[in-house]
Amino acid sequence: MAEFTIRIPRVSVAISEAELIDLLVAEGAHVQQGEPLFIIATDKAETEVEAGASGTVHWTGTLETVYEIGAEIGEIRPAG
């Protein structure tokens, strides 16, 4: 099973960027698919984003940073 790339999701149509405001799973910790993983904010709303896969989380994104939609901010490495 390949690593799952964590990207800023397309949470709306009329947006081009979003700010990473909270990481809900610590670096190196395990996450279950569907569990809350991080929170982003656009100038319209805040959105809690779920994990797209299960495994250990490794972050490359940094908090309070504005990213383009689709930008890579980490990955989930499947266990084993």
Partner 1 sequence: MTADRTVGVSPEVQRRLYELMTLMKAADDRLSKGIASGELQCVYWPPRGQEAIAAAMGVCLRRDDQLVTNYRGLHDLIGKGVPLVEIYGEMLGRQTGSSRGKGGTMHIANPECGVMLSTGIVGAGPPVAVGLAMAAQRKGLDRVTVASFGDGATNTGSFHEAANMAALWDLPLVLLCQNNQYAEMTPTEHTMKISQVAHRAGGYGLPGVRVDGNDPLAVVAALTEAVDRGRSGGGPTLLECVTFRFRGHYFGDPMAYIPPERLAAALEADPIPRFRSRLRLAGICSEADLDEIEAAAVTAVEEALTAVLTAPGALVDELDRDVYADPRNCPA
Partner 2 sequence: MTMREALNLALDQALAHDERVFLLGEDIADPGASGPTKGLSTKYGTERVLDTPISESAIVGAAIGAAMEGFRPVAEIMIMDFIGIAADQIINNAAKLRFMTGGRTSAPITVRTQVYGGIGTGATHSQSLEAWFMHVPGLKVIVPSTPRDGKGLLTSAIFDDDPCIFVETIRLGPQRGMVPVDPGFSIPLGEADVKRPGSDVTLISYGRGVVEALGAATQLEADGVSAEVLDLRTLVPLDVAAMVESVGRTTRAVVVHDAVQFAGPGAEIAAILQRELFGRLSAPVERVGARFVPNPAPPALESQVYPSAQRIVAAVRRTLGLESAKTGAHG
Q: Which parts of this chain interact with partner 1 (CB under 8 A)?
A: 4-13, 37, 45, 47, 49-53, 69-70
Among residues 25, 5, 21, the alpha carbon closest in space to that of 70 is found at 5
Tell whether residue 71 is a contact of partner 2 (CB under 8 A).
no
Please, which residue, 5 or 44, has the CB nearer to partner 2? 44
80 binds partner 2 (CB under 8 A): no
**13 is a contact residue toward partner 2 (CB under 8 A):** yes
Q: From residue 16, give the alpha-carbon distance in Å to each of 6, 58, 61, 62.
A: 17, 24, 17, 18
Give the Cα separation of 14 and 5 in Å (integer): 23
Residue 74's H or E segment, with its range, is strand 72-77
* Residue 52 contact among partner 2, partner 1, none, beta carbon within 5 to 8 Å by kind: partner 1
5 binds partner 2 (CB under 8 A): no
